[in-house]
């Protein structure tokens, strides 16, 4: 069921540029990996998922930290900043 | 002191008896690192100056008679565990210069005991691999034969302990990443019960499988370090309430899933049977157990792991931290940064993960895998109704040559066959030295894996000490 995989489309979904010379290798490797994992199709597992045994337990939203306490450390890690904010390139452009 | 045989227990005794100081001990390890790390490449960075300062502080605590089990003990830390102000790169180019802004919970606990941190150890990038060859900074070599891999992904931590470059080490285990390198390097490696050790401050790979664990020369050392880092933590939403179930008295039944142990090299089978005989002679009953769904474990793992990896690594986009490749629009900043920062295996996992989660395929792959995972978990639950532990070899073959499995990703995935079921079920397991096999005139260690029921660490420690 996965002889042909559109690697370029996957890469776009994953926000990952793939150099031309790597594309051919991935077009062999990714279907080979998917073919390997397809053996689970023969497992007789119930279609409906049971609630998984692993659960997240959220801590109470209490004792908030003092505002600004970690601001410097976190901003220092960012590649670009403008004042007390992380700077990013424009997200939405008017140009078509 | 002889670093090749020194254990935490012996170092504790000698430190408290003032036979040598924590500074002497730390200097001995720094000397060993200086001599050996060039060839083995276990460490990505050594913190000699701060290690000496930590050792001096530990000596003051010892002099005051207030030492704890790990005061002054020099350990190594895998490069995916955060220490405030230190680089934690997960052996990736994308985090090459990333400095942690906080301590992982396990690090806070060890700092409170006055541990000495020697440095950060090499690993497969983002804990993806089985040989430490996927590090962006070059592979680690196996101390028993430097033409072979140390295993992975905690290969640096295992090699450091085996080569006498650290007394013990922290690692993480997502599908065997502590147990398999421990087996290949001839030491003990523990993957605790999922949720037994906080993962706050561990760079996430596959969150439903990741677990921080410990490596030491023997079972007792792995246990001492585990006792220091375990416990409930509100900072990890999957952390379990504190539990420390003592081994059941009187019942000493060990299960062997013989139907699953088909692809073993003959010498590993022979070593495994010999270890079973040892346990029989010590009063254990060896019985067959059926774990029929384990035949699907590798396939399930190589769906769930990439799915979670692709989700977790989405945070690495060149915006908040790490590498950032300039581009005109934000979308290109993401895609160029990730292309430049991720290595080949990371890219493969991200793509496979994106595929198995994509609309139209998620039912057949990801959701089906989650369903089959529950069957595997149920197999273990049923088996543990009648046995106290399940044993199997840690790996189907001994350490392979560097480069031997580079051309075919799937051939490397097959190495994980005996370790991934444990992470899928969330149970604890320890790999202990289980003899050696000879290859090219060199003795290569093999691992004997003891798997316990949920919370059954004390049981597998007890059995491990009898091996």
Question: What confidence score (pLDDT) does residue B316 get?
Answer: 97
Q: Which residues of A touch B239 (CB under 8 A)?
A: 57
Would you call B319 and A79 a contact, using CB atoms and an 8 Å cutoff?
A: yes
Q: How confident is the model at residue B251 (pLDDT cuts 50, 70, 90)?
A: low
Q: Give the residues across from B110 on adjacent strands.
A: none
Nearest to A79 among B318, B329, B377 (CB): B318
Cα–Cα dist B182/B398, whole Å: 11
Question: What confidence score (pLDDT) does residue A1 get?
Answer: 54
Token reading at B185: 């390097």
Would you call A70 and B410 a contact, using CB atoms and an 8 Å cutoff?
A: no
CB B339 within 8 A of CB A19: yes
Question: What confidence score (pLDDT) does residue B336 get?
Answer: 97
Nearest to B351 among A14, A88, A91 (CB): A14
Cα–Cα dist B14/B22, whole Å: 10
Count contacts between A and B (CB, < 8 Å): 161
Give the relative orientation of helices B457-466 and B219-229 as an angle to the nearest 10 degrees.
160
Calculate how close chain A gets to B300, using CA atoms only, in Å: 7
Interface test with B, best of A11, A16, A36, A87 (most B CBs within 10 A): A16
In tens, the pLDDT along B355-387 reads 999 999 999 999 999 999 999 999 999 999 999
Would you call B299 and A1 a contact, using CB atoms and an 8 Å cutoff?
A: no
The total number of structural domains in chain B stands at 1
Cα–Cα dist A52/B373, whole Å: 9
Q: Given a cut of 90, is residue A93 above it in pLDDT?
A: no
Cα–Cα dist B346/B305, whole Å: 11
For chain A, the domains span: 7-42
Stretch B162-168: mean pLDDT: 98
Question: What confidence score (pLDDT) does residue A21 get?
Answer: 87
Question: What confidence score (pLDDT) does residue A3 get?
Answer: 63
Question: What confidence score (pLDDT) does residue B404 get?
Answer: 94
Stretch B79-91: mean pLDDT: 98
Share of chain A above pLDDT 70, in %: 85
Q: Give the closest residue to B95 by CA, choosing from A2, A77, A24.
A: A77
Lowest mean pLDDT among A84-88, B65-69, B76-80, B192-196: A84-88
The residue assigned the tokens 């997960």 is B90
Q: Given a cut of 90, is residue B242 above it in pLDDT?
A: no
The distance of Cα B358 from the centroid of its chain, to the nearest Å, equals: 30
Token reading at B291: 């774990």
SS3 B97: coil
- Contacting residues for A74 by C-beta, under 8 A, at least 6 apart: B101, B320
Q: Given a cut of 90, is residue B249 above it in pLDDT?
A: no
How many CA atoms lie within 13 Å of A23's alpha carbon, on the beta-carbon side?
13
Calculate how close chain A gets to B181, using CA atoms only, in Å: 24
Q: Which residues of A touch B365 (CB under 8 A)?
A: 34, 37
- Contacting residues for B427 by C-beta, under 8 A, at least 6 apart: B193, B194, B380, B451, B452, B453, B454, B456
Q: Given a cut of 60, is residue A96 above it in pLDDT?
A: no
> Does residue B329 form part of some domain?
no
Stretch A32-61: mean pLDDT: 80
Question: What confidence score (pLDDT) does residue A30 get?
Answer: 95
Share of chain B above pLDDT 90, in %: 94
SS3 B305: helix
Question: What confidence score (pLDDT) does residue B409 get?
Answer: 87
Question: What confidence score (pLDDT) does residue A57 get?
Answer: 79
Q: Which residues of B touch A90 (CB under 8 A)?
A: 329-330
Class of residue B277 by CB neighbours under 10 A (exposed 0-12, middle 13-18, buried 19+): exposed
| Nearest chain A residue (CA) to B336 | A17
10 Å Cβ neighbour count for B104? 28
Give the relative orientation of helices B297-312 and B344-357 as an angle to the nearest 10 degrees.
100
Stretch A86-91: mean pLDDT: 87
Query: At B178, phi and psi to the nearest 5?
Result: -105, -45
Q: Which residues of A touch B377 (CB under 8 A)?
A: 53
DSSP state string for B237-268? TTPPPP--PPPPSS--EEEE-GGG--S--HHH
Q: Give the closest residue to B303 by CA, choosing from A55, A11, A41.
A: A41
The distance of Cα B227 from the centroid of its chain, to the nearest Å, equals: 16
In tens, the pLDDT along B338-352 reads 999 999 999 999 999
Token reading at B435: 């003899």
Would you call B348 and A59 a contact, using CB atoms and an 8 Å cutoff?
A: no
Give the domain extent around B108.
1-251+260-267+394-467
Q: Which residues of B touch A45 (CB under 8 A)?
A: 368, 371-372, 374-375
Cα–Cα dist B126/B371, whole Å: 26
CB B140 within 8 A of CB B132: yes
What stretches of B92-145 show up as alpha helix (H) in DSSP? 105-112
Q: Which residues of A touch B375 (CB under 8 A)?
A: 43, 45
> Does residue B161 form part of some domain?
yes
What does the mean pLDDT of chain A come to? Answer: 85
Lowest mean pLDDT among A56-70, B13-27, B201-215, B385-399: A56-70
Question: What confidence score (pLDDT) does residue B224 get?
Answer: 98
Stretch A8-36: mean pLDDT: 94
Cα–Cα dist B266/B302, whole Å: 27
Share of chain B above pLDDT 70, in %: 99
Beta strands B188-191; B429-439: pairing state:
antiparallel
Which residue would you say has higher pLDDT here, B459 or A61?
Answer: B459
In tens, the pLDDT along A49-78 reads 566 666 777 888 888 889 889 899 999 999
CATH code for the domain in which residue B455 is found: 3.90.1300.10
CA–CA distances in Å: residue B400 to residues A50, B250, B397, B439: 40, 40, 8, 10
Cα–Cα dist B437/B398, whole Å: 7
ipTM of the complex: 0.92
């Amino acid at each position: 069921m996965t002889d042909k995989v559109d690697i370029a489309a996957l890469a776009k979904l994953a926000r990952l540029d793939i150099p031309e010379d790597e594309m051919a290798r991935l077009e062999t490797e990714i279907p080979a990996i998917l073919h390997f994992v397809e053996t689970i199709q023969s497992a007789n597992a119930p279609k409906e998922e049971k609630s998984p045994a692993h659960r997240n337990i959220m801590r109470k939203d209490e004792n908030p930290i003092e505002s600004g306490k970690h601001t410097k450390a976190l901003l220092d890690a960012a590649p670009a900043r403008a004042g007390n904010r992380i700077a990013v390139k424009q997200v939405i452009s008017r140009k078509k | 002191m002889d670093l090749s045989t020194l254990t935490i227990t012996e170092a504790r005794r000698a430190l408290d008896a003032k036979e040598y100081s924590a500074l002497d001990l730390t200097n001995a390890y720094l000397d060993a690192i200086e001599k050996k790390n060039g060839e083995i490449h276990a460490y990505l960075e050594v913190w000699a100056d701060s290690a000496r300062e930590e050792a001096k502080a530990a000596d003051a605590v010892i002099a005051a008679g207030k030492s704890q089990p790990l005061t002054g003990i020099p350990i190594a830390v895998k490069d995916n565990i955060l220490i405030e102000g230190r680089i934690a790169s997960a052996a990736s180019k994308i985090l090459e210069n990333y400095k942690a802004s906080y301590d992982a919970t396990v690090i806070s606990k060890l700092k409170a005991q006055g541990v000495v941190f020697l440095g950060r150890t090499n690993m497969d990038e983002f804990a993806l691999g089985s040989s430490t060859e996927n590090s962006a900074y070059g592979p680690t070599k196996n101390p028993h034969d430097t033409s072979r891999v140390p295993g992975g992904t905690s290969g640096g931590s295992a090699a450091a302990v085996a080569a006498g470059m650290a007394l013990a080490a922290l690692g993480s285990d997502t599908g065997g990443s502590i147990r398999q390198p421990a087996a290949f390097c001839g030491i003990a490696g523990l993957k605790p019960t999922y949720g037994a050790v906080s993962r706050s401050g561990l760079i996430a790979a596959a969150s439903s499988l990741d677990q921080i664990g410990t490596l030491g020369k023997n079972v007792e050392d792995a246990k001492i370090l585990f006792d220091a880092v375990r416990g409930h933590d509100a900072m990890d939403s999957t952390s379990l309430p504190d539990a420390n179930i003592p081994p059941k008295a009187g019942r000493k039944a060990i299960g062997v899933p013989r139907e699953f142990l088909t692809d073993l090299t003959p010498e590993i089978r022979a070593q495994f049977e010999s270890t079973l005989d040892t346990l029989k002679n010590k009063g254990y009953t060896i019985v067959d157990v059926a774990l029929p769904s384990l035949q699907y474990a590798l396939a399930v793992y190589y769906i769930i792991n990439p799915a979670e990896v692709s989700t977790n690594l989405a945070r690495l986009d060149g915006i908040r931290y790490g590498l950032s490749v300039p581009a005109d629009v934000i979308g290109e900043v993401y895609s160029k940064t990730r292309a430049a920062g991720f290595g080949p295996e990371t890219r493969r996992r991200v793509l496979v993960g994106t595929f198995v989660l994509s609309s139209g395929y998620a039912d057949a792959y990801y959701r089906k895998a989650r369903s089959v995972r529950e069957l595997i978990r149920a197999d273990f639950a049923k088996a543990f109704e009648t046995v106290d532990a399940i044993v199997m070899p840690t790996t189907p073959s001994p350490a392979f040559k560097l480069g031997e499995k580079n051309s075919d990703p799937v051939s490397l995935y097959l190495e994980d066959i005996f370790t991934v079921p444990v992470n899928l079920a969330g149970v604890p397991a320890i790999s202990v030295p289980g003899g050696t096999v000879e290859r090219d005139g060199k003795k290569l260690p093999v691992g004997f894996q003891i798997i316990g029921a949920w919370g059954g660490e004390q049981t597998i420690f007890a059995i491990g000490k009898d091996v």
